[in-house]
Structure 1
Amino acid sequence: MANITVGLIPSPDMPHKIINKIYDELPRAIQEQTDYDGWHFDKHVASIVGTAEHMDKAMDIAANMKKQKEWDYAICITDLPNFSNHKTVICDINYDNNIALISLPVLGAVKLKKKLKHFITYVIQLLHNGSSDQQLLNKRHFKLTQFNTVIPNEDTDDQNHERIVVKSTTLGWFHLIAGMTYANEPWSAIFDFKK
Structure 2
Amino acid sequence: MAQTLPDRLAGKSGQGRRFDVEVVSEPFTAGAEDPPTLMRRVMDRASTENWDIVVALTDLPLHSHRRKLVVDLSHEHGVALLSLPTLGGWRLQRRARRAVEEAVLSLANPQATGAEEARRSQPPLGPFAGRLAPIHPGPVDEDETADLRYVASGPRGYLRVLVGMVRANRPWLLVPGLSKALAAALATGAIATVNSTVWNLAASLSAPRLVIAMVGSVALMIGWLIVDANLWHRTAEATPEARKREALYNASTVVTVGIGVLVCYVGLLVINWVWALFILTDQVFASMTRTPLHATEYWTLSWFVASIATVGGALGSGLESDEAIRAAAYSKREQERRRTLQDDHDD
The answer to whether TM tops 0.5 is: yes
- Listed one character per residue, the Cα deviations across residues 77-125 of structure 1 (whole Å, up to 9, x for unaligned) are 1111112333221111122221111101110110000000000011112
164, 167, 170: which is aligned to 2:150?
Answer: 164
TM-score (norm 2): 0.44
- One-letter amino acid matched to 1:182: R
Structure 2 unpaired stretches of 5+: 113-117, 181-347
Question: Are the aligned partners of 1:95 and 1:127 in contact in 2 as well (CA < 8 Å)?
Answer: yes
TM-score (norm 1): 0.76
Structure 1 unpaired stretches of 5+: 1-21
The answer to whether 1:54 aligns with 2:39 is: no
Partner of residue 136, structure 2? 148
**Deviation (angstroms), 1:27:** 1.3
The answer to whether 1:179 aligns with 2:199 is: no
Partner of residue 10, structure 1? none
**Deviation (angstroms), 1:65:** 1.2
- One-letter amino acid matched to 1:150: G
Question: Are the aligned partners of 1:58 and 1:76 in contact in 2 as well (CA < 8 Å)?
Answer: no
**Deviation (angstroms), 1:180:** 0.2
RMSD value, Cα: 2.2
- One-letter amino acid matched to 2:83: S
Distance 2:24 2:139 in 1: 28
**Deviation (angstroms), 1:172:** 1.0
Report the CA distance shift for 1:142/1:29 in structure 2 as closer, same or farther (over 3 A): farther
**Deviation (angstroms), 1:133:** 5.6
Q: Choose 107-116 or 28-37, whichever is displaced more.
A: 28-37
**Deviation (angstroms), 1:194:** 4.3
SS of equivalent residue, structure 2 residue 2 = helix
Report the CA distance shift for 1:142/1:28 in structure 2 as closer, same or farther (over 3 A): farther
SS of equivalent residue, structure 2 residue 32 = helix
Distance 1:172 1:157 in 2: 27
Distance 1:111 1:80 in 2: 18
Task: Answer with 1 or 2: which has the greater Rg.
Answer: 2
**Deviation (angstroms), 1:151:** 3.1
Runs of 4+ in 1 over 6 A off after TM superposition: none
Distance 1:98 1:91 in 2: 13
**Greater fraction of residues in strand:** 1
- One-letter amino acid matched to 1:52: A
The answer to whether 1:28 aligns with 2:14 is: no
- Listed one character per residue, the Cα deviations across residues 110-143 of structure 1 (whole Å, up to 9, x for unaligned) are 0000000000011112211225564x433x6744
- One-letter amino acid matched to 1:24: Q
- Superposition pairs of residues 1-195 of structure 1, within 5 angstroms: 22-35=1-14, 36-47=16-27, 50-56=28-34, 57-129=37-109, 130=112, 131=118, 132=121, 134=123, 136-138=124-126, 142-144=129-131, 145-152=133-140, 155-157=141-143, 161-166=147-152, 168-194=153-179
**Deviation (angstroms), 1:58:** 1.6
Distance 2:23 2:79 in 1: 14
**Deviation (angstroms), 1:62:** 0.9
SS of equivalent residue, structure 1 residue 40 = coil
Distance 1:114 1:142 in 2: 13
Distance 1:148 1:180 in 2: 21
Question: Are the aligned partners of 2:68 and 2:151 in contact in 1 as well (CA < 8 Å)?
Answer: yes
Distance 2:167 2:144 in 1: 35
